[in-house]
Amino acid sequence: HRVGVLISGRGSNMAALVAAAKAADCPYEVVLVASDKPDAAGLTHAAEQGIATFSLSPKGMAKAEYEAAIDGALREAGVETIALAGYMRLLSGDFVAKWRDRIVNIHPSLLPAYKGLDTHARAIAAGDREAGCSVHVVTEELDAGSVLAQARVPILPDDTPDSLAARVLVEEHRLYPQTLAEYVTR
Ligand code: GRF
């Protein structure tokens, strides 16, 4: 099953998806890594792994034009499922409709709690005892599609947003490949 990964930065979740795909019994392969940030660190890692990359800055482009270019690159690579991994741009309803039920995302909270940004700071500020991450199907509305899987971690008394993020990220790297593998064989 051919997967395309969209990133905007570091790409550690993309790297975890790529690493897991090396297992003989993994049902997916990552055939394209695309970024809206041409200098995203994750692009270098993907290229080093021998994966095709595509980058295009949306600056100065209409959203529809930009998304048509991304869509074209994905289709040209024969992508069947899109995995968002730190992709910091909201996809339009038109784009999502074209890929209905074929886009997944990882979000660093226990959805439906803390959609959007700064999830860890918000969880700490609220006095939560637990945080985590969710893999969900992407719909037009931000972080709102059906949740496929979640992993939980404790919030410790001395946690900062960074220390909590690091603890959650370990779980993201485990949960995302496993959930994507299940999703593409559903
Ligand atoms: C992760 O925390 C992910 O859950 C969120 O953005 C971050 C991306 O990190 N959507 P990386 O680029 O995968 O390292």
Q: What residues form the annotated binding site?
A: 11-13, 63, 88-91, 105
Q: What is the DSSP letter of 155?
A: P
Catalytic residue among 45, 107, 120, 136: 107
Residue 55 backbone zone (phi > 0: left; psi -120 to 50: alpha; other: beta) = beta
If you measure from the C-alpha of residue 57 to the centroid of ligand 1, how many angstroms do you get, rounded to a whole number?
19
In whole angstroms, give the CA distance from residue 104 to residue 176.
Answer: 10
Percentage of the chain exceeding pLDDT 70? 100
Q: Tell me the pLDDT tens digit for each residue of 62-71.
A: 999 999 999 9
Q: Is the ipTM of this complex over 0.95?
A: yes
Q: Measure Cα distances from 62 to 9, 82, 117 in Å.
A: 22, 22, 24
Single pTM value for the model: 0.97
For 2-184, CATH gives: 3.40.50.170
Structure tokens at 39: 């200098």
- Closest-lying ligand 1 atom to the alpha carbon of residue 42: 12
End-to-end CA distance of the chain: 12
Q: Tell me the pLDDT tens digit for each residue of 69-83.
A: 999 999 999 999 999
